[in-house]
Amino acid sequence: MSLADRAPGTDRLRSVPALLVGITVVALLARLYLLDLRVAHWDEGRVGYDVLRYMATGAWEYRPIVHGPFLPHVNRFVFSVLGANDYTMRLVPAIVGGLFPLSAWLYREHLRRVEVVALALLFAVEPILFYYSRFMRNDVLVAAFAFTALG
């Protein structure tokens, strides 16, 4: 145990995994709550249309304007299981964004306990990450996958 771990006030951070799970549950619930409240942004609509066309024809080809292949391929499955609507089209980015705070655990050997918890809180409540994890785009997906892969 290091001196930093024995510092006053660190007793509350003994259960970092439990804190991370709690933060992640709150982050997930916040992202999933009223996910379909607003209508699709034109960019979401364009990608959603491409997914529906892919489902109908089975043919897909890469077009850079669609932001890569991940969302069309994953949402084809999501739409076939849960139906196509504003909620389900945003579901994958919302889940990935909500789970993003868990990735802080991968850096536990390089950060103090309080820093791991602070990083998880940052990923849970940072406004730009929060907004884009409720939006069908690849931005949060790329950030979460890259940060997790690095960890």
pLDDT digits (tens, 9 = 90+) for 1-35: 454 555 555 556 679 999 999 999 999 999 999 99
Asked if residues 129 and 92 have their Cβ atoms less than 8 Å apart, the reply is no
Alpha helices (runs of H) in 1-151, residue ranges in sequence order: 16-32, 42-57, 70-82, 86-99, 113-125, 127-132, 139-150
pLDDT tier, 92 (very low <50, low <70, confident <90, very high otherwise) = very high
- Its pTM stands at 0.87
Over residues 51-59, mean pLDDT: 90
* Half-sphere exposure at residue 44, Cβ-oriented, CA atoms within 13 angstroms: 22
